[in-house]
Amino acid sequence: MKEFFEKSGVFYRENEPLSKHTSFRIGGPARWYAEPDSAGQLAALLAALREKGVRHTVMGNGSNLLASDAGFGGVVIAIGSRMSGISVEGCRIRAEAGALLSRVAHTAMEHGLTGLEFAHGIPGSLGGGVFMNAGAYGGELKDVVRQVEYLDEELRPCTLRGEDAGFVYRSSLFKARRGTIILAAELALQQGDRETIAQTMRELAGRRREKQPLEYPSAGSTFKRPEGDYAARLIEVCGLKGLRVGGAEVSQKHAGFVINRGGATCADVLALCRQIEETVWQRCGVRLEREVELLGGGAAEDGAGTL
């Protein structure tokens, strides 16, 4: 692979700790860690990996990702800052998959465009956000995505209308079709007052700081919202706040967050999640479903990427 990377010009590192690239600050080394700088370079890399039969997976900003302690024995392709261009035309914003949602939302504010305020505090990338239909405070990306550019399973560039992307709660067509890779998305927003938009963002940021354990590494909400209820409420009524396994803990500030209190491993987090799930099922009769994606350790590969 080293010869291919050097000939193709793809930025890469060997034995790169995934803990450096996930918001959980957990994960062993990726044998190869690559960051393509264009859709063409990405497609060429994927084609070469398939031809050579090299194990590979795709990630975004790593904010919704739990990486295995053993790392990943193939190529981790990160769609990040090298593919993060943003352009604005009227009330529409086109951003590449690696652009941070917070940066896209800030760009919208600067141009007096409303509709993306909810995304200002989400730490993931646009590609990962589209992949899982990220949302917060009553807003979801499905509300503003006009179209998505992606590579299909045959690595052909395609475009899909937002209404055809199969957006549902924390999922999309791209999550179901793991061989597709999101490249960019166009968002349709509305003209608004810049100061009002900025004020809404400040208020939401304040609510996050007040209610969420932002001072500790985590992957955000650990579990999806069960129908008709909230994971955090169920976990709290089961008396699990503060429960620890190794360095992983159920946040005492917000029970919906599993946090890394220091030195947590992937094994710690998984063991704690299993204990939470079993307790909530036994006491409340509700099956919690994890929102966090797993990289390595039997996780799905060759996917569209995560936050």
| Residue 80, pLDDT above cutoff 80 | yes
Long-range Cβ contact pairs of 115-118 (< 8 A, separation 24 or more): 115/139, 115/143, 115/144, 115/187, 115/188, 115/189, 115/190, 115/192, 116/144, 116/187, 116/189, 117/197, 117/200, 117/201, 117/204, 118/204
| Residue 183, pLDDT above cutoff 70 | yes
Does 244 map to a domain?
yes
> Are 89 and 193 in the same domain?
yes
| Residue 303, pLDDT above cutoff 60 | no
Does 211 map to a domain?
no
In order, the DSSP letters of 202-260 are HHHHHHHHHHS-TTS-EEEE-BPPPTTS-HHHHHHHTT-TT-EETTEEE-SS-TTEEEE
> Are 269 and 166 in the same domain?
no
List residues with catalytic annotation: 170, 221, 291
Does 166 map to a domain?
yes
Does 204 map to a domain?
no
> Are 113 and 75 in the same domain?
no
> Are 257 and 189 in the same domain?
no
> Are 64 and 129 in the same domain?
no
Question: For 211-245, what is each residue's pLDDT tens digit?
Answer: 999 999 999 999 999 999 999 999 999 999 999 99
Does 212 map to a domain?
no
CATH code for position 41: 3.30.43.10
Please tell me the predicted confidence (pLDDT) of residue 297. 64
Question: For 16-33, what is each residue's pLDDT tens digit?
Answer: 999 999 999 999 999 999
Does 114 map to a domain?
yes
Chain centre to alpha carbon of residue 259:
16
Residue pointed to by tokens 């790169």 = 16
Mean pLDDT, residues 279-286 taken together: 98
What's the CA gap between 278 and 284, in Å, rounded?
10
The domain of 126 spans: 83-197
Question: For 30-50, what is each residue's pLDDT tens digit?
Answer: 999 999 999 999 999 999 999
Question: For 128-158, what is each residue's pLDDT tens digit?
Answer: 999 999 999 999 999 999 999 999 999 999 9
- Inter-residue contact 101 to 165 (CB < 8 Å): no
CATH code for position 246: 3.90.78.10
> Are 110 and 175 in the same domain?
yes
> Are 138 and 47 in the same domain?
no
| Residue 257, pLDDT above cutoff 70 | yes
Does 42 map to a domain?
yes
> Are 238 and 178 in the same domain?
no
Residue pointed to by tokens 């031809």 = 51
Domain count for the chain? 3
> Are 89 and 191 in the same domain?
yes
CATH code for position 154: 3.30.465.10
Please tell me the predicted confidence (pLDDT) of residue 270. 98
Please tell me the predicted confidence (pLDDT) of residue 296. 86
Mean pLDDT, residues 301-306 taken together: 42
What's the CA gap between 190 and 162, in Å, rounded?
16
Does 296 map to a domain?
no
Q: Out of 57, 81, 105, pick the residue that ends a domain.
A: 81
Q: What is the pTM of this model?
A: 0.93
